[in-house]
């Protein structure tokens, strides 16, 4: 049986390694099942970065989110976060861990630690961006944290980290574009 319905019947590869398209596809399915869309993350990232970039569009931010969702570190963090949350929801852990996760105890800290482990993947500024989102809890992060029917202990932080990553990636692209002219490149 699979804790996540969207992965019911999933046949793992021999190597445990997946392509960017496969990882992106699985990540989006998991996030959707847990009530988070690419648009939600793009909105968070856009509101983080739009004050610094005049010509930023939500479409560009969505493209950044999709790129970020195709990377292995993010794939592993999303898999881990969603599985832990759903396992806690189903009371599959021993106490006191199960209760700590279900009440999203502020002093637990390992949810933020996992999020921080990916937030700096495009530069340290991603970790400060994540810290800001973690403290201010805008939009979807606030909705996830206040959903008492689900355990979103890890998910709200992962969503903050994904938004922070997407924002930094776009900031890096804009900075290089400005410094080097309109040369397109992959980042
Ligand atoms: Mg949390």
Residues 19-62 have pLDDT tens digits of: 999 999 999 999 999 999 999 999 999 999 999 988 899 999 99
For residue 74, give its domain range.
23-179
Output the six-digit token pair for 50. Answer: 């739009």
- Note whether residue 68 is domain-resident: yes
Peptide bond into 161 cis (omega under 30): no
Q: Which residues of 104-142 are buried (b: 16+ CB within 10 A; e: fewer)?
A: beeeeeebbebbbebbbbbeeebbebbbebbeeeebbbe
Query: What average pLDDT does range 67-90 have in this prediction?
Result: 98
Displacement of CA 74 from its chain's centroid (Å)? 7
- Note whether residue 54 is domain-resident: yes
- Note whether residue 145 is domain-resident: yes
Local structure of 1: helix, strand or coil: coil
- Note whether residue 11 is domain-resident: no
How far, in Å, from the CA of 114 to the mean position of ligand 1?
10
The pLDDT, as a whole number, for residue 187 is 57
How far, in Å, from the CA of 54 to the mean position of ligand 1?
32
Q: What is the pTM of this model?
A: 0.94
Q: Domain tally for the chain?
A: 1
How far, in Å, from the CA of 134 to the mean position of ligand 1?
8
The pLDDT, as a whole number, for residue 76 is 98
- Note whether residue 187 is domain-resident: no
- Residue 88, pLDDT > 90, answer yes
- Note whether residue 113 is domain-resident: yes
How far, in Å, from the CA of 76 to the mean position of ligand 1?
17
Residues 132-145 have pLDDT tens digits of: 999 999 999 999 99
* DSSP one-letter string for 90-121: TT-SPTTHHHHHHTT-TTT-HHHHHHHHHHTT
Output the six-digit token pair for 160. Answer: 């903050």
How far, in Å, from the CA of 157 to the mean position of ligand 1?
5
- Note whether residue 15 is domain-resident: no
Residues 120-130 have pLDDT tens digits of: 999 999 999 99
- Note whether residue 17 is domain-resident: no
CATH code for the domain in which residue 70 is found: 1.10.3760.10
């Amino acid at each position: 049986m699979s804790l996540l319905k969207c992965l019911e019947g999933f046949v793992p590869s021999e190597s445990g390694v997946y392509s960017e398209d496969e990882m992106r596809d699985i990540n989006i399915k998991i996030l959707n099942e847990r009530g988070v869309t690419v648009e939600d993350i793009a909105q968070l990232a856009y509101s983080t970065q739009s004050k610094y970039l005049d010509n930023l569009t939500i479409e560009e931010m969505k493209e950044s989110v999709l790129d970020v969702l195709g990377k292995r570190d993010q794939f592993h963090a999303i898999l881990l976060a969603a599985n832990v949350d759903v396992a806690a929801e189903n009371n599959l852990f021993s106490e006191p861990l199960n209760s700590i996760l279900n009440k999203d105890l502020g002093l637990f800290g390992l949810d933020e630690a996992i999020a921080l482990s990916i937030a700096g993947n495009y530069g340290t500024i991603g970790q400060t961006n994540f810290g800001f989102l973690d403290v201010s809890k805008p939009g979807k992060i606030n909705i996830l944290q206040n959903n008492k029917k689900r355990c979103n202990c890890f998910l709200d932080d992962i969503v903050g980290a994904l938004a922070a990553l997407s924002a930094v990636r776009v900031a890096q692209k804009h900075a290089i574009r400005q410094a080097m002219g309109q040369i397109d490149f992959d980042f």
